[in-house]
């Protein structure tokens, strides 16, 4: 610097101290030193110290009267402790694990209350990381509440909650929550007989979910819809897609969480498609596997809603084998479950009813089955 300057410069110790401040970014060389430093590196001032627009952070700091460390510190301040977030994570996981067996009215009340609590945290002071995590936790609980709403036959509320969950997922840029929102749309469409709509909903999120567990579920819903349309090739293609995604996934840590896709659930999907396609032997095999995998060693049922659909599959196979007594017995077992998804149960039970009516239209046992099915309908 001395060699390049035509002016007298401070002592070496002063220059060294200034140099360290410049190099660390603590300060910026002024108009006197900038040309000398540039010359020392054999370049020009504009190349080494390009002029830029005023730094908005500097303007903001100047306006607030705070230095950089204080300003950054305040950005990182939060009204939510790590312990609070841990408690919310545990609660959200517990609620999602209770979905298969808990009383739906109680689960809905608790889920809704927790959703209000979680979203209320967004009004407080949060770090950016906390803000995103709270959006994600709220998204999972919203998905759960939407599923329970639909189980109880509350279509309008279920759709509103599903849309809210997708909005939370989009704001948090969380592909899995967005994918489950699409899966719910496919499920709603399927149980209402809108098979093309179910395919469209599944397709909307299948590619972005190809490395996620929800991708398996989206492919399965797609397969169910194509099975009812009658396109066997598309059914095989959809099941193949789901199987390929499942093969790539790491084994899930918590099989009880409703939003975790486990390998055993693939039998459940295949069971439905085989029953609709008329492959009775395979459908029966899958149904018995579903029942076996869903029954704990003590005889309690881990997934009662899956088991109900498995019994309805066995009912359809029995009636096709001209065994009405067994068909009605399996149907009654399906209706006996306390935890049920009403739209799904009515949908599959209705398909079984058509098979029974077609083969045994005037039999009193057919009337018993139909009367029981009607008793499930909401008033």
Same domain, 300 and 377: yes
- The string of pLDDT tens digits covering residues 36-48 is 988 888 788 877 7
- The pLDDT value recorded for residue 245 is 93
- The pLDDT value recorded for residue 29 is 87
> DSSP secondary structure string, 222-253?
HHHHHHHHT-HHHHHHHHHHHHHHHHHSPPPS
Same domain, 371 and 282: yes
- The pLDDT value recorded for residue 77 is 57
Point out which residues pair with 301 in neighbouring strands. Answer: 295
Examine the pLDDT at 330 and tell me if it is beyond 50: yes
Same domain, 314 and 355: yes
Q: How far apart are CA 344 and CA 188, in angstroms?
A: 9
Same domain, 246 and 336: no
Question: By residue range, what is the domain housing residue 1?
Answer: 1-51
Q: Per the domain annotation, does 377 fall within a domain?
A: yes
Number of domains comprising the chain: 3
Same domain, 231 and 288: no
Examine the pLDDT at 127 and tell me if it is beyond 90: no
Between 367 and 128, the higher pLDDT residue = 367
Same domain, 338 and 299: yes
Q: Per the domain annotation, does 74 fall within a domain?
A: no
Examine the pLDDT at 75 and tell me if it is beyond 50: no
Examine the pLDDT at 60 and tell me if it is beyond 70: no
Placement of tokens 């407080």 in the chain: 124
- The string of pLDDT tens digits covering residues 354-374 is 999 999 999 999 999 999 999
- The string of pLDDT tens digits covering residues 9-26 is 888 888 888 888 888 877
Examine the pLDDT at 94 and tell me if it is beyond 70: yes
Same domain, 299 and 240: no
Q: Per the domain annotation, does 94 fall within a domain?
A: no
Between 32 and 61, the higher pLDDT residue = 32
Query: Of the candidates 65, 157, 63, 141, which has an alpha carbon nearest to the alpha carbon of residue 107?
Result: 141
- The pLDDT value recorded for residue 263 is 77
Query: Of the candidates 173, 186, 253, 192, which has an alpha carbon nearest to the alpha carbon of residue 214?
Result: 186
Examine the pLDDT at 301 and tell me if it is beyond 80: yes
Examine the pLDDT at 71 and tell me if it is beyond 50: no
Examine the pLDDT at 70 and tell me if it is beyond 70: no
Q: Are 255 and 262 in contact (CB under 8 A)?
A: yes
- Average pLDDT (337-358) is 93
Same domain, 331 and 250: no
Q: Per the domain annotation, does 223 fall within a domain?
A: yes
- The pLDDT value recorded for residue 78 is 66
Q: What is the number of alpha carbons within 13 Å of residue 228 lying toward its C-beta? A: 20
Residue 154: exposure state from Cβ atoms within 10 A (0-12, 13-18, ≥19) = middle
- The string of pLDDT tens digits covering residues 256-265 is 899 998 777 8
Greatest mean pLDDT among 49-53, 83-87, 155-159 lies in 155-159
| Helix/strand/coil for 155 | helix
Q: What is the DSSP letter of 79?
A: S
Q: Per the domain annotation, does 158 fall within a domain?
A: no
Same domain, 283 and 366: yes
- The pLDDT value recorded for residue 338 is 85
- The string of pLDDT tens digits covering residues 238-258 is 999 999 999 898 887 788 899
Q: Per the domain annotation, does 171 fall within a domain?
A: no
Percentage of the chain beyond pLDDT 90 is 62
Q: How far apart are CA 323 and CA 315, in angstroms?
A: 9
- The string of pLDDT tens digits covering residues 176-191 is 999 999 999 999 999 9
What is the value of pTM for the model shown? 0.77
- The pLDDT value recorded for residue 272 is 94
- Average pLDDT (85-109) is 93
Per-residue confidence band for 52, with pLDDT thresholds at 50, 70 and 90? low
Same domain, 231 and 289: no
- Average pLDDT (156-174) is 95
- Average pLDDT (294-312) is 90
Give the residue from 9, 27, 51 where a domain finishes.
Answer: 51
Q: Per the domain annotation, does 99 fall within a domain?
A: no
Q: Per the domain annotation, does 294 fall within a domain?
A: yes
Both tokens of 6, joined, read: 């035509």
Examine the pLDDT at 133 and tell me if it is beyond 60: yes
| Helix/strand/coil for 12 | helix
- The string of pLDDT tens digits covering residues 207-224 is 999 999 999 999 999 999
Examine the pLDDT at 57 and tell me if it is beyond 50: no
Same domain, 240 and 294: no
| Helix/strand/coil for 295 | strand
């Amino acid at each position: 610097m001395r060699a390049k300057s035509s002016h007298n410069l401070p002592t070496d110790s002063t220059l060294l101290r200034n140099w360290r401040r410049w190099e660390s970014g603590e300060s910026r060389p002024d108009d006197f030193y900038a040309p000398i430093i540039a010359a020392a590196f054999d370049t020009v001032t504009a190349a080494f110290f390009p002029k830029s627009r005023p730094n908005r952070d500097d303007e903001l700091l100047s306006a607030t009267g705070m230095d950089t460390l204080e300003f950054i510190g305040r950005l990182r301040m939060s009204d939510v402790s790590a312990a609070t977030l841990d408690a919310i994570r545990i609660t959200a996981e517990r609620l999602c694990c209770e979905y298969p067996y808990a009383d739906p009215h109680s689960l809905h009340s608790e889920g809704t209350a927790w959703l209000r609590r979680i979203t209320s945290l967004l009004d407080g002071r949060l770090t950016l990381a906390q803000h995103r995590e709270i959006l994600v936790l709220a998204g999972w609980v919203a998905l759960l509440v939407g599923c329970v709403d639909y189980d109880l036959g509350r279509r309008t509320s279920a759709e509103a909650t599903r849309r809210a969950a997708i909005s939370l997922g989009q704001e948090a840029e969380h592909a899995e929550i967005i994918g489950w929102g699409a899966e719910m749309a496919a499920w709603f469409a399927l149980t209402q007989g809108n098979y093309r709509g179910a395919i469209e909903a599944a397709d909307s999120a299948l590619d972005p979910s190809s490395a996620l567990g929800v991708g398996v579920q989206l492919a399965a819903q797609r397969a169910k819809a194509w099975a009812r349309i009658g396109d066997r090739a598309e059914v095989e293609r959809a099941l193949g897609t789901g199987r390929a995604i499942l093969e790539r996934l790491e084994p899930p840590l918590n099989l009880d969480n409703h939003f975790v896709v486990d390998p055993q659930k693939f039998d459940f999907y295949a069971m439905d498609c085989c029953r609709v396609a008329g492959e009775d032997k395979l459908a029966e095999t899958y149904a018995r596997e579903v029942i076996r995998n869903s029954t704990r060693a003590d005889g309690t049922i881990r997934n009662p809603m899956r088991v109900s659909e498995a019994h309805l599959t066995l009912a359809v196979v029995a009636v096709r084998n001209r065994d009405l007594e067994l068909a009605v017995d399996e149907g009654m077992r399906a209706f006996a479950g306390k935890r049920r998804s009403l739209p799904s149960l009515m949908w599959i039970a209705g398909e079984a009813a058509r098979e029974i009516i077609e083969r045994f239209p005037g039999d009193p046992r057919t009337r018993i089955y139909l009367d029981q099915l009607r008793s499930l309908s909401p008033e």
